[in-house]
């Protein structure tokens, strides 16, 4: 396969769909921080030779489809990514420590799923989720009237 990578004695194609959120699910990923967070995450992934296939910043969470080498565990990579990015975000935006506490930006957990041969489906989901969420929000803002009250 042409999408396989190789180490000295290994052919690999390890793709993961990762979702993580800011602490208390605050909607701070939008606005001024969005571009900075994207640049920071790209830089950190480049430093660890992790390829970002698809990524999108939602108002309250980040979706990433990444290709992680098998010599690095997903938990190690996520600890590195969230830890270093939190420090870098607080260095660039010093006012965040008053709003978000002592240099903690991300919540403790994350979601990870392996991506096999359905990479295109997951990439499409990441790209189009924001539009679907907005449509669902518009539809759910309807106020319902109790038909039995007069």
Catalytic: which of 16, 30, 125, 144? 125
- The answer to whether 125 is a known catalytic residue is yes
Q: What letter would DSSP give residue 22?
A: B
How far is it, in rounded angstroms, from Cα 141 to Cα 104?
A: 33
Quick check: 125 and 29 in contact, CB under 8 A? no
Quick check: 143 and 126 in contact, CB under 8 A? no
> What backbone phi and psi angles, to 5 degrees, belong to 84?
-70, -40
How far is it, in rounded angstroms, from Cα 21 to Cα 28?
A: 10
Residues catalogued as catalytic: 125
């Amino acid at each position: 396969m042409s999408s396989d990578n190789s180490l000295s004695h290994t052919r690999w194609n390890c793709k993961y769909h990762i979702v993580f959120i800011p602490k208390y699910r605050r909607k701070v990923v939008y606005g001024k921080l969005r571009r900075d967070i994207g640049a920071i995450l790209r830089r950190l992934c480049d430093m660890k030779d992790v390829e970002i296939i698809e990524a999108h910043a939602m108002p309250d969470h980040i979706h990433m489809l990444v290709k992680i080498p098998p010599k690095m565990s997903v938990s190690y990579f996520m600890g590195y990514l969230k830890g270093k990015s939190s420090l870098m975000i607080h260095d660039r935006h010093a006012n965040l420590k008053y709003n978000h506490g002592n240099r903690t930006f991300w919540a403790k957990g994350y979601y990870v799923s392996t991506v096999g041969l359905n990479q295109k489906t997951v990439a499409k989901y990441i790209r189009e989720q924001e539009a679907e969420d907005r449509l669902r929000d518009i539809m759910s803002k309807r106020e319902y009237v109790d038909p039995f009250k007069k």
